[in-house]
């Protein structure tokens, strides 16, 4: 449309000019060092037009190789882009080998060589070709040195997928301290430590994660998992110094978390710590929990005072099987065989449990009822394999 308008305007202008020239053709005189050349105006216009066209033609001929090269480059680029698209389609269909070939075909002409290399590395990874994967990544770093950080992050991600955690940490260590991907590096390190159960490693990262502005809800969950994992590890080793240190270090809100409370009191009680009755009782009051009730029965304080406390709780929770079992255990420690029997039988009647059957069998042995004891042990073994049965408390001999 635009061309048609311009052509119409040119024809109109030409017609007007021709009308004037027919009335008076005029002339052009050129004088130079004694030479005189005279043209009519139409002839001068004609010669100037020819000169302009010749100059345009010369420039076109001179620029032809460059234009041809650019055109060929565009063709190669379009072809490379088609290979890239086809490679992604092959990968989406699970054809990793073919996808890798397509992605690396004409990669030098691609508009996005980094994406080609990373996708090819992923395809190699999915074929289990780790050396080829690393080769594509190295080529990406060599040809695109400014993208070395992104390549290292991608490589660490691939290694994490293959559970090569030590190698992934070494890769992340190569990132320069001022690299913009440090936030992503922190997330990858956190993932590595979580998968490998290295809660101490995550604990060291928590301050940096806070500074990076990690979402408060996800950070809170990570803190809970981290201190919970560390507390359980310390409890399993009966490391009271570590247990106390973690309790002081952790955020106050975590001291009411049940999983942490179980590990905390469990570790201290297993290590023989005294003076825990009041604190454990407060924890039970704040959040009733079967494991905490069980731990209450394992305290070193005199059983008589704890029996009164447990029986007080039973007034409100008369059908709590864990509370009944704990009452039975405490009564056995005080040789209150009749009460112990009643509590344990009530607990079993509500919820048969291997540990309760073991206590009940031990009680019957104390009472000389060997047949009943054997039957209780048999019922307990029928519920769970012997390897998973908890260790029993030592009971006073009759």
Residues 269, 301: contact at Cβ < 8 Å? no
pLDDT band per the 50, 70, 90 thresholds, residue 398: very low
Q: In whole angstroms, what is the distance from residue 202 CA to residue 208 CA?
A: 10
pLDDT tens digit string along 174-205?
Answer: 887 666 557 888 999 999 999 999 999 999 99
> What average pLDDT does the segment 208-236 reach?
87
pLDDT tens-digit series, residues 254-313? 999 999 999 999 999 999 899 999 999 999 999 999 999 999 999 988 888 899 999 999
Predicted confidence at residue 285, as pLDDT, reads 92
Q: Determine the Cα–Cα distance for residues 311 and 113; give it in Å rounded to an integer.
A: 74
pLDDT score at 76? 58
Q: Higher pLDDT residue, 229 or 109? A: 229
Q: What percent of the chain has pLDDT over 70?
A: 83
> Could you tell me the pLDDT band of residue 94, with boundaries at 50, 70 and 90?
confident
Q: What is the pLDDT of residues 57-81, one digit of tens each?
A: 777 777 767 666 555 556 555 776 7
pLDDT at 22 over 70: no
User: Count of residues for the chain?
Assistant: 398
Give tens-digit pLDDT for 115-162.
888 888 888 888 888 888 888 888 888 887 888 888 889 889 989 998
- Of 28-32, 223-227, 228-232, which gets the smallest average pLDDT? 28-32
- Average pLDDT taken over every residue of the chain: 83
Residue 193 vs residue 394, higher pLDDT: 193
Using pLDDT thresholds of 50, 70 and 90, give the confidence band for residue 17. low
- The pLDDT score that the predictor gives to residue 111 is 73
Which pairing describes strands 35-40 and 27-32: parallel, antiparallel, or unpaired? antiparallel
Residue 70 pLDDT: 56
pLDDT of 386 > 80? The answer is no
Cβ neighbours of residue 210 under 8 Å, at least 6 residues apart?
219
Q: Alpha-carbon distance 357 to 373, whole Å?
A: 9
At 360 the pLDDT is 92
Residue with tokens 């990406």: 140
CB-based contacts of 13, cutoff 8 Å, min separation 6: none
What is d(CA 123, CA 94) in angstroms, rounded to the nearest whole number?
Answer: 9
Average of per-residue pLDDT across 236-264:
94
Which single residue is written with the structure tokens 């060589």? 113
Residue 7 has pLDDT above 90, yes or no: no
Give the model confidence (pLDDT) of 111-122 as tens digits. 778 888 888 888
122 HSE (CA, 13 A, CB side): 18
Count CA within 13 A, CB hemisphere, residue 6.
3
The whole-number pLDDT of residue 18 equals 59
Looking at residue 138, its pLDDT comes to 87
Position with higher pLDDT, 220 vs 108: 220
pLDDT of residue 241: 95
């Amino acid at each position: 449309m635009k061309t048609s308008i311009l052509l119409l305007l040119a024809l109109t202008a030409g017609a007007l000019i021709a009308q004037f020239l027919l009335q008076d053709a005029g002339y052009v005189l050129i004088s130079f060092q004694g030479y005189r050349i005279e043209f009519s105006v139409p002839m001068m216009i004609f010669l100037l037009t020819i000169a302009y066209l010749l100059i345009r033609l010369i420039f076109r001929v001179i620029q032809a190789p460059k234009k041809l090269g650019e055109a060929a480059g565009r063709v190669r680029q379009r072809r490379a882009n088609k290979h890239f698209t086809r490679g992604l389609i092959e990968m989406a269909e699970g054809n990793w080998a073919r996808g890798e070939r397509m992605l690396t075909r004409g990669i030098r002409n691609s508009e996005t060589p980094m994406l080609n290399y990373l996708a090819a590395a992923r395809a190699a990874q999915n074929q289990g070709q780790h050396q080829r994967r690393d080769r594509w990544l190295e080529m990406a770093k060599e040809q695109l040195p400014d993208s070395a950080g992104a390549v290292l992050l991608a490589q660490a991600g691939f290694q994490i997928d293959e559970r090569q955690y030590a190698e992934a940490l070494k890769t992340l260590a190569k990132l320069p301290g001022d690299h913009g991907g440090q936030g992503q590096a922190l997330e990858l390190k956190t993932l590595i430590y979580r998968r490998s159960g290295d809660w101490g490693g995550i604990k060291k990262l928590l301050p940096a994660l806070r500074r990076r502005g990690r979402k408060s809800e996800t950070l809170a969950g990570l803190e809970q998992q981290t201190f919970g994992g560390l507390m359980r590890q310390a409890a399993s080793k009966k490391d009271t110094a570590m247990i106390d240190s973690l309790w002081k270090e952790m955020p106050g809100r975590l001291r009411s978390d049940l999983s942490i409370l179980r590990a905390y009191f469990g570790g201290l009680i297993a290590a023989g710590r005294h003076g825990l009755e009041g604190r454990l009782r407060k924890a039970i009051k704040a959040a009733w929990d079967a494991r905490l009730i069980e731990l209450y029965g394992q305290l070193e304080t005199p059983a008589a005072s704890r029996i009164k406390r447990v029986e007080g709780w039973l007034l409100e929770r008369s059908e709590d099987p864990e509370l009944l079992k704990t009452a039975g255990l405490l009564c056995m420690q005080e040789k209150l065989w009749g009460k112990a029997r009643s509590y344990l039988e009530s607990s079993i009647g509500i919820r048969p449990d291997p540990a309760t059957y073991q206590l009940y069998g031990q009680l019957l042995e104390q009472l000389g009822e060997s047949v009943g004891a054997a039957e209780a042990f048999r019922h307990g073994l029928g519920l769970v394999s012997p390897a998973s049965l908890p260790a029993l408390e030592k009971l006073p001999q009759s």
